[in-house]
Chain A
Amino acid sequence: MAQETAGKAGETWDETIVRVLKANDVRLITYVPDKVLAPLIKRLHADDYFTVICPAREEEAIGIVTGAYMGGLRGIVLMQTSGFATLPNALASLTVPYQIPMLMLISERGTLGDFQLGQVIVCRTMRPILESLNIEHYAIERQDDVEFITDRMIKQAFATQAAAAMILSPLLTSRGNKKNGG
């Protein structure tokens, strides 16, 4: 297991995340699509290890992952910044009071060159919401940090029955892209 979780040269961020999810027995994937997350979503769909669900709304995904956790199956919600902005009620009235280790992987839109005005404004709400709900969050900016941050945050979430928001910064996902806006 230690070897399995050791860093691997030449991996892309999405490959690393797939490996970390498996190492932590996170089998249920729920997502509402995002262009930045697309390569990860494609990889998860192609892998029989995972059950992958794309519900209509992020709130629904929170409900599904909550039920699955209580039933003994670990899951995660993948979303973009605007999707996170639909979640405060579910997080404040379900995730936090019921102490659910809700794993969230959020692609950060609306910063560092996004062309979508709506994304830019909604992006400003994400960290204040996470802070006010006292939810652990961390932005991943470099490939070298992907494994350490995701693996540690997932383990901490389950060990402490608390949510974890893993934010994928454009510094990680869009560096080298010629086009702005992920």
Chain B
Amino acid sequence: MQTHALSSAGRDAVKIMNRSDLTRRLVAKLKHEEAVIGGIGHTHFDLWASGQRPQNFYMLGSMGLAAPIALGVALAQPARQVFALEGDGSLLMQLGTLGTIAQLGPKNLAIIVWDNGAYQITGAQPTLTSTGVDLVAVARGAGLAQSVWATDEAHFEALVDQALKGAGPLFICARTDKQPPAGVTERDAAKIRTRFMEGLKVSTRGNQQTYDRAA
């Protein structure tokens, strides 16, 4: 099972799928309050449209930081499975984070990249993946041994199942089309953060108590 799920074709050999559909397939499998960090752009729009779970975090800016934020959550809560959803253009901005994740090796972290080869939200200008950068090869080179292209929807779901077993870190890349997202996230950063922390059962009151104790 593991060998099969993690064996991988190259970028050119895999099916081009739909980001909204794959996001919904992922979310449908989340039964244990898993955390999901949605990267900037259509990535978090589709996460929002898949149902506003309290354990979802939507990035209105800071391009490239979905994986680092997810890593931070994974370190803080080792018992919780954490997913980062990121676009190819965003990940290209912060490739060093793949090495950081490989070095730390959190079992509860999976990075999912939607690779449509374009900066879709700014007018679909081509990204470097459209001219040859293979992000799975990059991730493997950074030390993430479990890095794979999802060959089709069933394979993508099998990879998510693998991540949900706590077998990370996993790096999953899916080729996606350029269909528009299924919704638009409500742009209220403070609300997104407080709701996410409630979803993760972390209270700022707890921080306040720490403050009082030390004062």
User: A residues bordering B, Cβ < 8 Å?
Assistant: 1, 5, 23-25, 28, 51, 53, 55-57, 59-75, 89-90, 92-94, 97-101, 151, 155, 158-159, 161
Contact = CB atoms under 8 A, between A and B. Distances in A.
Contact of B69 (A67, A158, A161): A67
Contacts of A93: 60-62
Given A60-B100, A94-B61, A99-B190, A158 B210 contact: yes
Given A72-B206, A158-B211, A90 B94 contact: no
By size class, the interface of chain B is 35 or more
A63 B65 contact: yes
Main secondary structure of the interface of B (DSSP, over half): helix
Nearest to B196: A70
Given A23-B214, A62-B65, A89-B61, A73 B76 contact: yes
Interface in B38-66: 57, 59-66
Given A25-B210, A155-B215, A161-B204, A97 B60 contact: yes
Contacts of A70: 57, 69, 72-73, 76, 193, 196-197, 200, 202
Given A56-B96, A73-B75, A94 B59 contact: yes
A92 B207 CA distance: 23
Nearest to A23: B214
B208 interface: yes
Nearest to B200: A71
B61 A55 contact: no
Contacts of B1: none
A93 B60 CA distance: 7
A89 B76 CA distance: 24
Interface string B75-111: 1110010000000000000101101100010000000
A92 B65 CA distance: 13
Contacts of B69: 63-64, 66-67, 70
A99 B193 contact: yes
B72 A63 contact: yes
A66 B72 contact: yes
5 contacts: A59-B62, A64-B100, A67-B71, A70-B76, A158-B207
B62 A56 contact: no
